[in-house]
Chains A and B, each alone.
Chain A
Amino acid sequence: MPSSRDLAVAVLREPLVHFLVAGALVFLVLSGRPPNATERRIVVDEPVLESIFNRYVQSFHRPPTPEEIDGLVQDYIRSEVYYREALRLGLDRDDEVVKKRMRNKMLALSGAEAEATQPSDTELQALLDKDPARYAAPPRFTLQQHYLGADTPTLRAAAKAAIAAVKPGSAPDLPTVTSALPDRFDDASPSDLAAEFGDEFAESVSKAPVGRWTGPVLSGFGLHVIKIERLTKAPPPRLEDVRQSLENDWRFAAVRKAEDESFKSMLRGYDVVIERPR
């Protein structure tokens, strides 16, 4: 037993139905929609005149003369007549330029309110609580590093042995390579270290013990031995300290959310049928 939807689909595929629908459309377009009283009234009142006047001033930086105003008003009336007749004939339909323009206007309207809204502290606090790690100040490492050279099995073994043999108060006994890599970092964040050595090294530092030499640790350059002297963890972020970041994120998301929601709410008023040819 075909469902009513299947039936509708089948009917819609019928050439005769296409013909009838097309005919009805032609009839509708040619006969026009029934006129209504407001559509048939063109009022040039003060607000309209003011807007005509202002546009002129904006373009030409002087007020229009009375003759020019007359001309502009005649032009406004002409535009209105054409515009309304065009709408009555349905010329706005299936016009890509009109569609795009309308879409942009709708989009601008839906996002503008969010853009200009000032989020409340409660909203910002909620955003902060959702992902405190994103806004937290990073931990800070004060450390020494010795660069040993490119990664080779021999060098790895030597580094391991030297670390195992290291005596308290002294550094591992290993030949180091001089480079522009600083031997010492004071209060460096993981992102500072990642920029300098690569992500892998920064991760190793985050996991390394504090207060003794450890390694070998791999970086983009090769092998290192490191000693973390001090690790300072930041307290949880407070709203006051990260307000600007929170507002930026809130606003960025709010504008997109408003656009999306307004689209979805409008979409709910429609039945969307996608017919793929079989």
Chain B
Amino acid sequence: MRREILLAALLLGTSGLVAGCDQLKKVAGGKDVVVKETEFPERVLWGDTHLHTANSVDAFGFGVRLGPEEALRFARGEEVTSTTGLKAKLPRPLDFLVVTDHAEGLGATKALYDAPRLLIRDETMLRWYDMMHEGPAGSQRAMAEILDARGRNALPKAMLNQDGTAERTKSVWNGNIDAVERYNEPGKFTAFFGFEYTLMQGGNNLHRNIVFRDGPDRVRTVVPLDPTYKATPDEIWSYMEAYEKATGGRVLAIPHNSNLSNGLMFELTQPGGGPMTAAYAKRRARHEPVVEITQIKGDSESHPFLSPNDEFAGFGVAGWELNNLLGNQPKVSSMFAGEYVREALKRGLLLEQQMGVNPYKFGLIGSTDSHTALATADENQFFGKHTGNEPNPARATQEQNLGTRKGRFGWHYLASGYAAVWAKANTRASIFDAMARREVYGSTGPRMTVRFFGGWAFKENDLKGDWVRAGYRRGVPMGGELSASKKGAPSFIVSALKDPIGANLDRVQIVKGWVDKSGKLQEKVFDVVWSNPEKRKPAGGKVPAVGDTVNVATASYTNSIGAPTLAKVWTDPEFDPSVRAFYYVRVLEIPTPSWPAFDAVRYKLKLPPEVRVKQQERAYTSPIWYTPTKA
């Protein structure tokens, strides 16, 4: 497809291309496959809802030349050759993928790159054009300047020519649809249609990924919404509503990198100030059932500033806590509360108490946000945020600036994360529906299997036999809601399995958040079940650290500590039926080497002491909410 688009750009005629693809699709045909849903979700499906290819304006600028087709083949477990010529293959295939190229200037950088040079009138664009053709280093410099210009609203007018880009967007979008459809195989591998709505306000990240439930017939009736012209979240919701109304289809939005929004992603007020309205809250909750909590550009669960009593808070915040996405506005600590997911869940409770609607009642997933067309979140298989950071000896300690200003280094980027979905079948409809009901969780990379049920009468001996079925029958799964009962405190079944080819588990925790009687936001992390309990007795309310088997010199660890499985029925010992609350599960692995440690071994590097060489990877489930009945 990439090549057809390229050819089309050469010939400056795109209509023939689109027609050609349609025909191709018709001939290729494909049988109608009927995939039956199971009674309840039996197997967790792993995927990436956030992946960029050569069609993304920045990914291409950063050097990637792989398109959606290579991305899909890689996610399905095929070997592909990365842009820098390295062979890449996932040790295990994924179950689904959403290619989310940036809507704005879909294919624009590529079009600039492919344009006849004589047609480029704008001097700045001409300079970028020449830099991009110099090679990878020039291309990355050009991209840094383009992003910076975008953050400052200083892009050349010719690049913003809305009418001129519409035709190109449509042709890239149609090409993308064809590739995705070819690789979608119901029951085996799901390829979703989607795009990224890269909403940015002065370099503050308000990005959303848009995922369609539907097939090509419906999706082809729209083109991705470009935030350059429509620049508030309401605009994307209006777009989604219009799509659903016109086609009868379904679409959802997944916000990400709240950690780089400088406090704007999860505000207590209406965007721009003033009290939040119930109408706004309702709209947001309806369209955004899931939030991406972890990815390459850091982890957004919580910050030590917000969770001083949580010794595991602050995973992957180094480098990202300094400023916003483009690094053009420093961060002050008062912004953290609007940036991290745990705090947003608490704010949601408060807002619900005040106006009856919770705008932040969302589930949690992880995804990569990789710009290399390679959806990998494995530490030993890390291909970097963009093509300039594909494996090379310098990347761990190199300065990495999205804009042109200082502050971030290679090792701040995480080999994270993946989305886990409890769907009843591997199809677009089933996976989408699981996201819509928030029966999902996020991982920083390892594929732990986590079950979480809430109910009113679970007892310790319920964790026997066919307890999963019982969990669904007598309670609600992750993402569900509990309302008041006369039977005392809610009880929860929580079970975690290690990644079958990964590290043992340290512990399973339940994070509770609530609004106290005085209206203050509260949180508490409960250690629910942990490995080696006979040796690790809680002291001062904390379970001692699990230990550490990491050998940095060889980038290895052993499973001689931790446990392969942990499970428990837990009842909230501090339950107050009059107080609204949420509960989510955090599963911690034992310490394992992080990607810079693998680089150090591969390239015989001596890393400076500040570089993170080991970490405790983790999974976060969607919460279960408790709401008191109205007094």
A contacts, CB < 8 Å to B: 51, 54-55, 58-59, 61, 79, 96-97, 100-101, 104-105, 107-109, 111-112, 115-116, 118, 147, 150, 177-183, 191-192, 194-199, 201, 219-222, 240-241, 243-245, 247-248, 252, 255
A201 to B500, CA, bound (A): 10
Measured between beta carbons, the chain A residues less than 8 angstroms from B547 are none
Q: Give the one of B3, B12, B118, B135 with max A CB within 10 A.
A: B3
B215 contacts the other chain (Cβ, under 8 Å)? no
Q: Which of A112, A116, A220, A244 contacts B30 (CB 8 A)?
A: A244
Measured between beta carbons, the chain B residues less than 8 angstroms from A116 are 4, 20, 24
Chain B, Cβ-Cβ closest to A61: B163
Q: Is the CB of B130 within 8 A of A97?
A: yes
Smallest beta-carbon distance B123→chain A, Å: 16
Measured between beta carbons, the chain B residues less than 8 angstroms from A252 are 69, 73
Q: Which of B3, B117, B119 contacts A112 (CB 8 A)?
A: B3
Smallest beta-carbon distance B14→chain A, Å: 10
Q: Is the CB of B10 within 8 A of A108?
A: yes
Show 8 A/B contacts (Cβ-Cβ < 8 Å), sorted by A. A61-B163, A96-B133, A150-B564, A178-B467, A180-B495, A183-B466, A194-B92, A220-B502
Do A195 and B565 contact each other (CB < 8 Å), given the known contacts A100-B133, A179-B497?
A: no
Q: Is the CB of B3 within 8 A of A248?
A: no
Q: Which of B3, B20, B465, B468 contacts A180 (CB 8 A)?
A: B468
Q: Is the CB of B10 within 8 A of A105?
A: yes
Q: Is the CB of A178 within 8 A of B464?
A: yes
Q: Is the CB of B134 within 8 A of A96?
A: yes
A255 to B114, CA, bound (A): 19
Do A180 and B565 contact each other (CB < 8 Å), given the known contacts A61-B163, A96-B134, A247-B28?
A: yes
Chain B's interface size range is 35 or more
Q: Is the CB of B12 within 8 A of A108?
A: no
> Which 6 pairs show the lowest CB-CB distances between chains A and B?
A220-B500, A198-B500, A221-B564, A111-B3, A108-B6, A180-B495
Measured between beta carbons, the chain A residues less than 8 angstroms from B502 are 220
Measured between beta carbons, the chain B residues less than 8 angstroms from A101 are 117, 133
- Tell me the dominant secondary structure on chain A's binding face: helix
Q: Is the CB of B564 within 8 A of A108?
A: no
Do A179 and B28 contact each other (CB < 8 Å), given the known contacts A96-B133, A108-B6?
A: no
Do A115 and B567 contact each other (CB < 8 Å), given the known contacts A199-B501, A244-B30?
A: no
Measured between beta carbons, the chain B residues less than 8 angstroms from A221 are 497-498, 500, 564-565
B43 contacts the other chain (Cβ, under 8 Å)? yes
Measured between beta carbons, the chain A residues less than 8 angstroms from B284 are none
A118 to B497, CA, bound (A): 46
B164 contacts the other chain (Cβ, under 8 Å)? yes
B355 contacts the other chain (Cβ, under 8 Å)? no
Measured between beta carbons, the chain A residues less than 8 angstroms from B133 are 96-97, 100-101
B7 contacts the other chain (Cβ, under 8 Å)? yes
